[in-house]
Amino acid sequence: MLCEECGKRPAEVLMTAVVGGQSTTKNLCRECLKKYKAGDLQAVLAAVLSAMADKKQAPEITCPSCGETYAEFQKSGMLGCAECYQAFRQELAPLITRVQGRAQHAGRRPPVSEEEQARQSRIEELRGLMEAAVADENFEEAARLRDELRAMTPAKEGKA
């Protein structure tokens, strides 16, 4: 995530200011943080109030599918449906990046069922047997194994 102040360097510090019961956070790089630490309280307050004003002026985003608003998500921490990810995409990206280190999912595939594992294992076994039958020039057995393999694998579309 880039610094929200300069937009050039990576943000390393999360600054939170509470003004009038409302909190505002800013992600800053070390250089921009030094500006705030230099004692320029007026600049800090101006930046915080500006950020708060920008939040208030922004129209409330609503998910077209379930009707949940972004403000409701912020209160509950839970999205209403799968479409909320798309509706709140711009708002969620920095949050997800901060929490997970990246905005794009990089997980594993779901586990394959035992039936599918057994089917894949049998297909590999049949392929090995068919190759051995061809090597031994036992073409009748190879054809039988080929037909069994074809019955186990789905036909590819567009193939004549």
Residue with tokens 């069922």: 113
Question: What total number of domains does the chain contain?
Answer: 3
In-domain check, residue 109 = no
Task: Examine the domain organization and report whether 38 and 53 are in the same domain.
Answer: yes
pTM summary value = 0.34
Query: Roughly what angle, to the nearest 10 degrees, separates helices 30-37 and 41-57?
Result: 120
Confidence at residue 160, expressed as pLDDT on a 0 to 100 scale: 46
* CATH number, position 34: 3.30.60
Q: Give the whole-angstrom CA distance, residue 138 versus residue 146.
A: 12
**pLDDT per position in the chain (160 positions), as tens?**
788 878 888 888 777 766 666 677 778 788 877 776 655 555 666 666 666 555 554 468 899 999 999 888 888 888 889 899 899 888 888 887 777 777 676 666 677 788 888 888 899 999 999 999 999 999 999 999 999 999 988 765 545 4
Domain carrying residue 70: 61-104
In-domain check, residue 160 = no
